[in-house]
Chains A and B, each alone.
Chain A
Amino acid sequence: MENKLRIMIVDDEPIVGKRLKRLFEKEGFEVGTCTRGSVAIEELKRKHFDIVITDLMMGNVDGMKILEFVKTNHHVTRVIIITGFGKKETAAEAFSKGAFAFIIKPFKIDELREVVRKACAGLKAKSAS
């Protein structure tokens, strides 16, 4: 159980959290969900997460803030952005801030699964070295 990777899912749409939690638990991850950015940051302070999947538009503390927080505090953690407002500029900003991937809603489960797998591979490679 110790080598289970932790995934944090932040989205103000509760359905996204529910579905992805089930999906990734089946894949063997330990999954935490949040619908508010501020709660997510509190959780991230408390616990280490290997992957953070976050929405962008969420009111006051949005995905970009979470990305910034993660990159300053746990730079190993991979951050995957999922958003319905897929603008080029936003994507560029996210990548420049260190996002691992930028996925536009609505996405296919396989698409996300693939990205997460790649992230995990990177993490394993890092921890191996």
Chain B
Amino acid sequence: MQLKIWHKMIIGISIPALITLTGGFFTYAYINDVKLRHGFVEIADDLRDRVLEVRRSEKNFVLHKTEEYYNYCNDGINILNRSLNGISPEIAEQVGKNDFSFLRDSLKAYSGLLIDLLGHYRQEDIFIEKVRDEGRKLEAFVKTEKHAPELSINFVLDLRRLEKDYMLFRDTASFNRMNDALSEVNSLVPSCPDCARYPEAINDLISVYNKINAMENDLLIAGRGIEDTTNRIAQSERQKVNAFFTSTQRFLMIVLILFCTLIPLFVYQTASYVVAPIKRLADITRKISEGDMTLRAPIKEHDETYTLAVSFNRMLDHLQLTRSSLEKSLELLHEKHVEVEKRASLGFLVSGVAHELNNPLNNISLTAETMKEDLQELSTEELREHIQDIISQSERAKHIIEELLDFAGTRKSTAMEKLDIINVLAESINLVANQLKVSHIHLKKDIHKTPVFIKGNQSKLEEIFVNIMVNAIHAMKESGTLSICAKPDEKEKSITVEISDTGCGIPKKYLNNIFEPFYTTKQSGLGTGLGLAVTRSLVEKHSGDIDVRSKVGEGTTFTVRFPLYTETD
């Protein structure tokens, strides 16, 4: 993907923000849901409270059997109905439609039962009154003792006590006791219609009681059903809320974990995505700074680093161009230095050579004059000898001039070839020989006798030796000894040439700098200051090295070492 850095940054920031936002949104939705569910719990609790209220009233009603308590029940049921009707269909849908319709139906049945029960209670009252009435009648009847002598008043009183007990307790024991007594009445007075009315009334009451009992039981079951349903609704709502809380907690946990892992990951990814091209550029810069100018910054991204890389590369191109042209100039300058130094040496050598030329010239003129004067007297043999002398002395003069011209650079070749360094050294010594003579300098040679081959350039090697020797001659001024020692080292595969003088020596503080260009201790006008710098660069061109040691007042020794020629060269 080709994106600009600020695009990457925006993506890098907006995606974590989006994740956060989504997480937040879901959390908000969840909490809202939980709030809603909590509302349902309140509704369910409210319903249950009202149902309990109704049931309390029901108990009171069953206990007191009065209209007042019936009204309480009815009020409770009405309120409950209102509450039920107040619940919106959406909520009913959410909480459980079946439960609500069941509740409504149950309530309807329940209130029907209540009203039925009230009717029966009133009937019971009537029947109780009737039983009391008949009882009282029976008492009165028995008290007269004429209608039923079988029945004692005590028995009747006992029966009535049993009747009261039964009406009070309404349990099976008291019913059985009362029933036994009533059966006895029937058996005692089977054909007494007056006496029969009381048991009949009691039987009616009993049947009402039974009915009431059944109804009360139904009411209880219905009430319990309603209570259970509301309880269940409340409980399930509470459970749902709890489940919601648990899942919300879990969700929040997951969001948190995602937050803690995804966002750093994403930020890291974004950062590395942004940093990567810059890092690549930095790597390249480092490599280039280490010296590889041919390297270029990779141009991959089309972001801001693209411009940077392109500018950087352009700068490098420019730099490389400048450097190569600078190197070329430096090379040229070096050539110039070599030339300047050569001319300086040449100037020095010329004075010696000029004087040296006088000798063959003198020989020639002397011989020629002799011939001119004594032409008649000289024998043919002598004449031939004279002429031969003239010829050989002319050759000698020619040779002296040639040597100088050679050194001066008519031989321009820079080719590196296999050559005998011993021979080169001898020729170099020849070049300065006259100067040594003039300066009364004694030459001490300890040079290897057989040829030693190195790979090099004749004129450059000559210049190396001449430069060092001219330096030595300058250092010694008038008189001294120039020692030249050349010995190959077969083990090191090199040859060492040592050129020592007995001159003034070089102070230690100058020794480190003497190979630097334009560094000279000579009086101005005597040296170019390039000699040793040029010498060193020429030695290095021959893969050799140059070293100097010196002691003030004793002299200086230059050591030059070249690798020997090998077949692979």
For residue B389, CB closer than 8 A to chain A, the reply is: yes
Q: In the assembly, what is the distance between CA of A105 and CA of B362, in Å?
A: 6
Interface bits A6-24 vs B (CB < 8 Å: 1, else 0): 0000000101100110110
Q: In the assembly, what is the distance between CA of A15 and CA of B364, in Å?
A: 9
How far apart are B400's CB and chain A's nearest CB, in angstroms?
12
Report yes or no: A85 in contact with B362, Cβ–Cβ below 8 A: no
For residue B366, CB closer than 8 A to chain A, the reply is: yes
Report yes or no: A105 in contact with B370, Cβ–Cβ below 8 A: no
Q: In the assembly, what is the distance between CA of A107 and CA of B367, in Å?
A: 11
Interface residues of A in 1-47 (CB under 8 A from B): 13, 15-16, 19-20, 22-23, 26
For residue B361, CB closer than 8 A to chain A, the reply is: yes
Report yes or no: B363 in contact with A108, Cβ–Cβ below 8 A: no
For residue A101, CB closer than 8 A to chain B, the reply is: no
Q: In the assembly, what is the distance between CA of A59 and CA of B433, in Å?
A: 11
Report yes or no: A106 in contact with B365, Cβ–Cβ below 8 A: yes
Given contacts A23-B370, A57-B437, A84-B356, contact A15 B389 (CB under 8 A): yes
Report yes or no: A13 in contact with B362, Cβ–Cβ below 8 A: yes
Q: Which residues of A contact B367 (CB under 8 A)?
A: 15, 19
For residue A109, CB closer than 8 A to chain B, the reply is: yes
Number of interface residues of A (CB under 8 A): 21
Q: Which residues of B contact A84 (CB under 8 A)?
A: 355-359, 362
B355, B356, B362, B367: which has the most chain A beta carbons within 10 Å?
Answer: B362
The closest CB in chain B to the CB of A85 belongs to B355
A15, A84, A105: which has the most chain B beta carbons within 10 Å?
Answer: A15
Report yes or no: B355 in contact with A13, Cβ–Cβ below 8 A: no
For residue B373, CB closer than 8 A to chain A, the reply is: yes
Q: In the assembly, what is the distance between CA of A86 and CA of B356, in Å?
A: 11
Interface bits A74-92 vs B (CB < 8 Å: 1, else 0): 0000000010111000000
Interface bits B6-41 vs A (CB < 8 Å: 1, else 0): 000000000000000000000000000000000000
Interface residues of A in 55-74 (CB under 8 A from B): 57, 59-60
- The number of inter-chain residue pairs (CB within 8 angstroms) is 55
A109: which of B355, B356, B369 is its contact (CB, 8 Å)? B369
Interface bits B437-476 vs A (CB < 8 Å: 1, else 0): 1100010000000000000000000000000000000000
Q: Which residues of B contact A106 (CB under 8 A)?
A: 358, 361-362, 364-366
Q: In the assembly, what is the distance between CA of A15 and CA of B393, in Å?
A: 10
How far apart are B445's CB and chain A's nearest CB, in angstroms?
14
The closest CB in chain A to the CB of B358 belongs to A84
Q: Which residues of A contact B357 (CB under 8 A)?
A: 84
The closest CB in chain A to the CB of B372 belongs to A109
How far apart are B461's CB and chain A's nearest CB, in angstroms?
27
Q: Which residues of A contact B363 (CB under 8 A)?
A: 13, 15-16, 19
Interface bits B333-376 vs A (CB < 8 Å: 1, else 0): 00000000000000000000001111101111111011001100
Q: Which residues of B contact A86 (CB under 8 A)?
A: 355
Report yes or no: A109 in contact with B366, Cβ–Cβ below 8 A: yes
Report yes or no: A22 in contact with B370, Cβ–Cβ below 8 A: yes
How far apart are B157's CB and chain A's nearest CB, in angstroms?
189
Q: Which residues of A contact B393 (CB under 8 A)?
A: 15
The closest CB in chain B to the CB of A82 belongs to B362
Q: In the assembly, what is the distance between CA of A105 and CA of B389, in Å?
A: 17
Q: Which residues of B contact A104 (CB under 8 A)?
A: 358
Q: In the assembly, what is the distance between CA of A59 and CA of B359, in Å?
A: 15
Q: In the assembly, what is the distance between CA of A16 and CA of B516, in Å?
A: 48
How far apart are A115's CB and chain B's nearest CB, in angstroms?
15
The closest CB in chain B to the CB of A108 belongs to B369
Q: Which residues of B contact A15 (CB under 8 A)?
A: 363, 366-367, 389, 393
The closest CB in chain B to the CB of A84 belongs to B358
Report yes or no: A13 in contact with B359, Cβ–Cβ below 8 A: yes
Q: In the assembly, what is the distance between CA of A15 and CA of B385, in Å?
A: 11
Report yes or no: A19 in contact with B370, Cβ–Cβ below 8 A: yes
Given contacts A84-B356, A85-B355, contact A16 B362 (CB under 8 A): yes
How far apart are B32's CB and chain A's nearest CB, in angstroms?
121
Give me 29 A-to-B residue pairs in the complex whose CB atoms sit less than 8 angstroms apart, sorted by A's number: A13-B362, A15-B363, A15-B367, A15-B389, A16-B363, A16-B366, A19-B363, A19-B366, A20-B366, A22-B370, A23-B370, A26-B374, A57-B437, A59-B437, A84-B362, A85-B355, A85-B358, A85-B437, A104-B358, A105-B361, A106-B358, A106-B362, A106-B364, A106-B366, A107-B362, A107-B365, A108-B365, A109-B370, A109-B373
8 A-B pairs closest in CB distance: A84-B358, A106-B362, A105-B362, A15-B363, A105-B358, A85-B355, A106-B365, A106-B361
User: In the complex, given contacts A22-B370, A104-B358, what are 11 additional A-B residue pairs having Cβ atoms less than 8 angstroms apart?
Assistant: A13-B363, A16-B363, A26-B374, A57-B437, A60-B442, A84-B358, A85-B358, A85-B437, A105-B358, A107-B362, A108-B365
